Amino acid sequence: MNLQTKQQVVLAISSVLLICSCARQAATSHEIGSETLPPQKIGSNTFIEISLDGGGLYAGVNPTTRNNKLIENDGRILIKFRQLYTGERDEMLFTSRARVERLARFIRDNGFFAMKDLYDCAPSGGECEYRKKKYPRPVPLRINVAIGNSERQVTVTIFKMGMVDYPDELEAIVGRIDEVIRQAREQQGYQK
């Protein structure tokens, strides 16, 4: 075999390896714009952490100053709730790892990792901008989700449909997170 033939064989092998590498990468992730979604498989070894922070109104004689819900990898749910005058109330609940995995799949399948980082008033949103400054003052909602190596935070300045244009799927995701927490409370006999 002469030198030119050897170079052609090496080039052909390199091309095949590159194609295989690209195919393997495409099989393990989905591209949406510049965002990469987590791998399709969410299993017992996949790290999962989901949190909701805020999303209500700073209002009343005893306004809420902190409302944080965290669903941890092992199914532990930590809720930190603080009001201006009555202080802090913490809850620790538990749910199954299987339920955390189902929630993570629901979040992923509803396009959370392809959503924008911020949903705010439209540039010409006079009523929305006015509402942000009006009492009772809205508290932005922050949703943080980590699944495997993928992590994303989405913020909604006013979490009220019609006021800010955010996807319906985001409303469904928040509802499902609250449902998992409600079920854990009921299972353990907690009263809100």
Instruction: Output Rg (C-alpha) for the chain, integer angstroms.
Output: 23
pLDDT at 33: 38
Same domain, 55 and 123: yes
Task: Determine what percent of the chain is predicted with pLDDT higher than 70.
Answer: 77
As a whole number of angstroms, the distance between CA 127 and CA 108 comes to 32
- Over residues 151-176, the mean pLDDT reads 90
Instruction: Specify the long-range contacts of residues 17-20, CB closer than 8 Å, at least 24 apart.
Output: none
What confidence tens digit (pLDDT) does each residue in 103-153 have? 999 999 999 999 999 999 887 767 888 888 887 888 889 999 999 989 999
Q: Is this prediction's pTM over 0.75?
A: no
Together in a domain, 11 and 83: no
Query: Residue 151's domain is classified under what CATH number?
Result: 3.30.1560
Domain count, the chain: 2
Amino acid 25: pLDDT: 39
The predicted pLDDT at position 6 comes to 52
Say whether pLDDT at 73 is over 70: yes
Beta strand 64-71 pairing with 76-83: antiparallel
| Domain match, 102 and 131 both | yes
Same domain, 25 and 54: no
pLDDT attached to residue 40: 55
Do 65 and 27 fall into the same domain?
A: no
CA torsion angle for 52, 58, 62, 68 (degrees, to 10)? 10
Please indicate, yes or no, whether residues 97 and 24 belong to a single structural domain of this protein: no
Torsion of CA 97, 103, 104, 110, to 10 degrees: 170
CB 124 within 8 A of CB 130: no
Residue spans of beta strands (DSSP E) within the chain: 31-32, 35-36, 48-54, 57-58, 64-71, 76-83, 87-94, 118-119, 137-138, 141-147, 150-156
Q: Please give the pLDDT value at position 124.
A: 73
The residue with tokens 């922070």 is: 53
Q: What angle do CA 104, 110, 115 make, to 5 degrees?
A: 105
What is the model's pLDDT at position 82? 79
53 and 26 together in one domain: no
Kindly report the average pLDDT of the chain as a whole number.
79
Q: Is 59 a residue whose pLDDT tops 80? A: no
Mean pLDDT of 156-171: 87
**Do 57 and 138 fall within a single domain?**
yes
Given a cut of 50, whether residue 20 has pLDDT beyond it is: no
63 vs 109, higher pLDDT: 109
d(CA 115, CA 153): 9
Residue 7 has pLDDT above 80, yes or no: no
What is the reported pLDDT for 27? 37
What pLDDT does residue 55 have? 77
